A and B are shown apart, each in its own frame.
Chain A
Amino acid sequence: MTHPPEWLLPAASEGAGRIDALFFSLLALTGFVAVAIALVALVFCVKYRRGSAADRSDPPSQLKALEIAWSTIPLVIFIGIFVWGARVYASLYQPADGAMKVFAVGKQWMWRIEHANGRREIDELHLPVDEPVRIVIATEDVIHSFYIPAFRVKQDAVPGRYTGLTVTPTRVGTYELLCSEYCGTDHARMGGHVIVMPKAQFAKWLAEGAPAGSMAAQGKATFQRLGCTGCHDPRSSLHAPELAGLFGRAVHLQDGRTVIADEAYIRDSILLPKKDVVAGFEPVMPSYQGQASEGDLLELIAYLRAQ
């Protein structure tokens, strides 16, 4: 593992600057408070040490006004910090429209990355500079956490669901990619690098290693391999929901609920088909748990999105 050359951590994403601004403001504030308390305590300790000639008349044991002041002033400051922190936090999770998508799947003990055009990499993530990227994160086994210190972002990969984050790299360079949630024996060795490249160079890189088909094309192959066409093909004699145009649409369910067909819905429908049965259909679909890997699922989702 190599570390970025600068002593201080480089700030290489759009959000990093905003997080650092809050971090160093807090450092200044808390540093000031700590030094102030220490100084006051030190002055008291010296001045009122046993045997000193200081004035000790009418030692106060309470002062309501003072106590109310030092309860409410911190409260106001704390609420201010909260609002600042919450605003930046919310911005990290704003889905940027038109952001390019990258898929990261954690597995003991590596990060498998797949780009939308089907190019795959392991423990390396190539990204174009100044381009918003939505990273969709999943895991094959235990909880991992996708951590890029130079971007100041981290997101747990949770079994059974998709998580994600949006970043915009702002500096060309090579940065650490880590796993920050303990995941077993080689937790410390899980990870590699994020390589941020100029846009043109990235486009070239992406095209170079592209396999025969995009993620969607591979999803189509997976769709056929797993036999999904048997029921979901419009010409099929078996009555199953039509999948063309499904992604992003509202779906009415048997039990009266309405859900948006997002990544999590499609994933659940493949693995736990009885969970969200579409209104007007029999719950006859078998589970594909154990047959469709996390990679297959992401490709199937890409295929359905393209439909």
Chain B
Amino acid sequence: MSYLTEGFTLGSWLFTKDHKRIGILYALAITVFFFLGGIAATLIRLELATPAGDLVGADTYNKLFTLHGVVMVWFFLIPSIPSTLGNFLVPLMIGAREVAFPRLNILSWWIYVLGGLFVVATLVLGGVDTGWTFYTPYSTMFSNSYVVMAAAGVFVVGFSSILTGLNFIVTIHRMRAPGMTWFRMPLFVWAMYATSLILVLATPVLAMTLTLMAVERLWHVGIFDPALGGDPLLFQHLFWFYSHPAVYIMVLPAMGVASEVITCFARKRVFGYRFMAYAILGIAGFGFLVWGHHMFVSGQSIYAGMVFSLLSYMVAVPSAIKVFNWTATLYKGSIEFSAPMIYALGFVGLFTIGGLTGLFLAALAVDVHLTDTYFVVAHFHYIMVGGTVMAYFGGLHFWWPKVTGRMYPETLARVAALVMFFGFNLTFFPQYILGYLGMPRRYHEYSPDLQLLNVLSSAGASILAVGYLMPLAYLTWAMFHGKRAPSNPWHAKGLEWATTSPPPKDNFDAMPEVPRVPYEYDPRETPA
């Protein structure tokens, strides 16, 4: 009997304490928000197909990009891999029967839903127009939209992040199977561990920042508005102290997924496993020290700018190491281009371009020209969408047989991966050029000279939308009609493949032991 057949009532799902079911609840919830944010993105790209502001007015456009940012960052990207695949896989990968705190785990999902309701309420009431960054004093003293309601949603959903992070940290420390030492852990677990540290340490700062913002807006207590004796740069420091590490909350899990998938389909042990684990910790650690690179033209001291620039290059080193090691993993492998592998290789390529263009933005003088233009928009979409979303889909396909007990249609999945990759590049590559040419972000109207590049971008977005709708359709179909999956369809080595597909409620019939290092793949022993 599998965890899926343990109960069929709605209550058996909504009040489950099973980490696997909670992973699925999260997957369903974030899918709703992914398509909500996607609708906003579609309208944004439609508006930008022409230079004039003809489809929607200025205020509506401002609300659209704010909704897109808030929903995609906090209600999709942050929980995407950790709360879905992480919840499902962390106990399985370390040989545990549950997470450390199953009740907190389901509570975190309910908190997520509550936070989501605030965002839906904001939307129904009329939206919010501050941008996802909530910069003061615009957000506290000038905006005539539902700022506090939206911030409340973000505040609330933060607690679901904290609970998930706390759960993973304790689970990974205390519940590893006999023999599962730290350096026998899969890199996905390392990534989840580092991500959890950031979730627990950074999210409270966001909660405090938004609270201070709401206090100033509601009761005019001077914190950020200089007219009341506050300082607007204080808000930016506090906001980016969370929001820069938040990028690593999104991308470290993606790196974890890519490491699992590439090693399996190259039939080769991850190259430089220890460097990979250290690089994950290095990125998480340095990630806390670079927030000021969002503020090179904000009026902060130029010496602060220099310190943050240098530290930003320090965080680029472990990122570069990871790209080199993934590439080296392919050497002398036996590579199969299955759908998860195409997604994972796509992730590496897009993350590399996103990372390399980060070098431009960390270079102080160049950032003066490029910051707040489409160059930045392109850069972070390469990291967060090209990187994280590609990896999320890669992971979804890779573990789909384990999660649902059914196979997905392979050919369709490969086509979708390629459509996504092509659509993504067509959408966002022209935006780098637009940024260099000086098109600022958050403009619903622009110079007619820039129309060609914007039309290319909008055309790419329509292809990207098809790429995202395809898995929605065929994975839904496969959930009910896919071919039954064996326990280990990829002949993969992790503990999660040692149990049945789908796993029993308690994960393992007999408690596993771990006598060896992970990823003992051999390219000469090719599975049939």
A159 cross-chain contacts in B, Cβ below 8 A: 137, 225-227, 232
Q: Which of B142, B323, B348, B356 has the most CB of A within 10 A?
A: B356
Of the stretches A179-187, A219-227, A229-237, the one at the interface is A179-187
Secondary structure at the A interface, as helix, strand, loop or mixed, is: mixed
Q: Is the CB of A158 within 8 A of B334?
A: no
Given A50-B336, A160-B232, check contact A141 B142 (CB 8 Å). yes
Chain B's nearest CB lies how many Å from the CB of A177?
A: 11
A160 cross-chain contacts in B, Cβ below 8 A: 226-227, 231-232
Q: Is the CB of B330 within 8 A of A82?
A: no
Cβ of A173 within 8 Å of any chain B Cβ, yes or no, is: no
Report how far A1 CA is from B451 CA in the complex, Å: 13
Of the stretches B4-12, B112-120, B360-368, the one at the interface is B360-368
A238 cross-chain contacts in B, Cβ below 8 A: none
Mask, B305-328, CB within 8 Å of A = 1, is 110011001101100110111011
Cβ of B381 within 8 Å of any chain A Cβ, yes or no, is: no
Tell me which residues from 253 to 312 in chain B have a Cβ below 8 Å from any Cβ of chain A. Answer: 266-275, 296-299, 302, 305-306, 309-310
Given A154-B372, A180-B372, check contact A30 B356 (CB 8 Å). yes
Q: Which partner residue on chain B sits nearest A91 by CB separation? A: B365
Q: Is the CB of A158 within 8 A of B233?
A: yes
Chain A's nearest CB lies how many Å from the CB of B152?
A: 21
Chain A's nearest CB lies how many Å from the CB of B325?
A: 8
Of the stretches A16-24, A202-210, A240-248, A254-262, the one at the interface is A16-24
Cβ of A291 within 8 Å of any chain B Cβ, yes or no, is: no
Given A89-B302, A143-B232, A154-B297, check contact A74 B317 (CB 8 Å). yes
A156 cross-chain contacts in B, Cβ below 8 A: 297-299
Q: Among the listed B353, B360, B436, which residue makes an inter-chain contact with A9, where contact means beta carbons less than 8 Å apart? A: B436
Chain A's nearest CB lies how many Å from the CB of B302?
A: 5
B499 cross-chain contacts in A, Cβ below 8 A: none
Q: Among the listed B138, B226, B373, which residue makes an inter-chain contact with A161, where contact means beta carbons less than 8 Å apart? A: B226
Report how far A187 CA is from B57 CA in the complex, Å: 12
Cβ of B13 within 8 Å of any chain A Cβ, yes or no, is: no
Tell me which residues from 133 to 182 in chain A have a Cβ below 8 Å from any Cβ of chain B. Answer: 141-143, 145, 147, 149-150, 152-156, 158-161, 163, 176, 178-182
Tell me which residues from 355 to 384 in chain B have a Cβ below 8 Å from any Cβ of chain A. Answer: 356-357, 359-360, 362-369, 371-373
Q: Is the CB of A34 within 8 A of B317?
A: no
Of the stretches A51-59, A115-123, A192-200, A276-284, the one at the interface is A51-59
Report how far A62 CA is from B321 CA in the complex, Å: 13
Q: Is the CB of A89 within 8 A of B332?
A: no
B302 cross-chain contacts in A, Cβ below 8 A: 89-90, 93
Report how far A185 CA is from B310 CA in the complex, Å: 36
Q: Is the CB of A19 within 8 A of B331?
A: no
Report how far A90 CA is from B313 CA in the complex, Å: 18
Q: Which partner residue on chain B sits nearest A150 by CB separation? A: B438
B137 cross-chain contacts in A, Cβ below 8 A: 141-143, 159
Q: Among the listed B271, B317, B325, B368, which residue makes an inter-chain contact with A92, where contact means beta carbons less than 8 Å apart? A: B368
Of the stretches B24-32, B89-97, B441-449, B481-489, the one at the interface is B441-449
Tell me which residues from 44 to 93 in chain B have a Cβ below 8 Å from any Cβ of chain A. Answer: 53, 58-59, 62
Chain A's nearest CB lies how many Å from the CB of B508?
A: 27
Report how far A49 CA is from B302 CA in the complex, Å: 51
Chain B's nearest CB lies how many Å from the CB of A73?
A: 9
Mask, A22-47, CB within 8 Å of B = 1, is 11001000100110011011001100
B442 cross-chain contacts in A, Cβ below 8 A: 182, 187-188
A108 cross-chain contacts in B, Cβ below 8 A: 142
Q: Which of A22, A34, A142, A272 has the most CB of B within 10 A?
A: A142
- Number of inter-chain CB pairs below 8 Å: 268
Report how far A283 CA is from B442 CA in the complex, Å: 45
Tell me which residues from 53 to 110 in chain A have a Cβ below 8 Å from any Cβ of chain B. Answer: 54-63, 66-67, 70-71, 74-75, 78-79, 81-82, 84-90, 92-93, 108
Cβ of B450 within 8 Å of any chain A Cβ, yes or no, is: yes
Q: Which partner residue on chain B sits nearest A27 by CB separation? A: B360
Report how far A70 CA is from B58 CA in the complex, Å: 48
Cβ of A3 within 8 Å of any chain B Cβ, yes or no, is: yes
Q: Is the CB of A189 within 8 A of B445?
A: yes
A272 cross-chain contacts in B, Cβ below 8 A: 229
Cβ of B526 within 8 Å of any chain A Cβ, yes or no, is: yes
Q: Is the CB of A185 within 8 A of B298?
A: no
Q: Which of A30, A59, A176 has the most CB of B within 10 A?
A: A59
Cβ of B98 within 8 Å of any chain A Cβ, yes or no, is: no
Q: Which partner residue on chain B sits nearest A109 by CB separation? A: B58
Report how far A74 CA is from B318 CA in the complex, Å: 10
Chain B's nearest CB lies how many Å from the CB of A1?
A: 5
Q: Is the CB of B335 within 8 A of A48?
A: yes
Cβ of B349 within 8 Å of any chain A Cβ, yes or no, is: yes
Given A37-B352, A158-B232, check contact A61 B273 (CB 8 Å). yes
B367 cross-chain contacts in A, Cβ below 8 A: 85
Given A79-B313, A85-B309, A149-B369, check contact A186 B450 (CB 8 Å). no
Q: Is the CB of A85 within 8 A of B438?
A: no
Chain B's nearest CB lies how many Å from the CB of A68?
A: 9
Q: Is the CB of A89 within 8 A of B352?
A: no
Cβ of A289 within 8 Å of any chain B Cβ, yes or no, is: yes
Cβ of B333 within 8 Å of any chain A Cβ, yes or no, is: yes
Cβ of B143 within 8 Å of any chain A Cβ, yes or no, is: yes
Chain A's nearest CB lies how many Å from the CB of B465?
A: 24
Report how far A85 CA is from B272 CA in the complex, Å: 32
A56 cross-chain contacts in B, Cβ below 8 A: 332-334, 523-524
A23 cross-chain contacts in B, Cβ below 8 A: 360, 366, 369, 436
Q: Among the listed A49, A60, A82, A185, which residue makes an inter-chain contact with B59, where contact means beta carbons less than 8 Å apart? A: A185
Q: Is the CB of B365 within 8 A of A183?
A: no
A184 cross-chain contacts in B, Cβ below 8 A: 62, 129, 138, 142-143
Q: With A41-B330, A156-B297, A185-B129 given, name 10 new contacts (CB 8 A).
A: A30-B359, A50-B267, A55-B332, A57-B332, A60-B271, A70-B324, A82-B310, A154-B372, A180-B372, A188-B442
Interface residues of B (CB under 8 A from A): 53, 58-59, 62, 129, 131, 135, 137-138, 141-143, 225-227, 229, 231-233, 266-275, 296-299, 302, 305-306, 309-310, 313-314, 316-317, 320-321, 323-325, 327-328, 330-337, 345, 348-349, 352-353, 356-357, 359-360, 362-369, 371-373, 436-438, 440-450, 522-524, 526
23 residue pairs A–B, Cβ–Cβ below 8 Å:
A3-B449, A19-B365, A19-B369, A23-B436, A30-B359, A44-B330, A49-B336, A50-B336, A59-B333, A59-B522, A89-B305, A142-B141, A142-B142, A143-B232, A149-B437, A149-B438, A152-B369, A154-B371, A180-B440, A184-B62, A184-B138, A184-B142, A188-B446
- The 5 A-B residue pairs with the shortest CB-CB distance in the complex, in nearest-first order: A160-B226, A149-B438, A85-B363, A89-B364, A88-B365
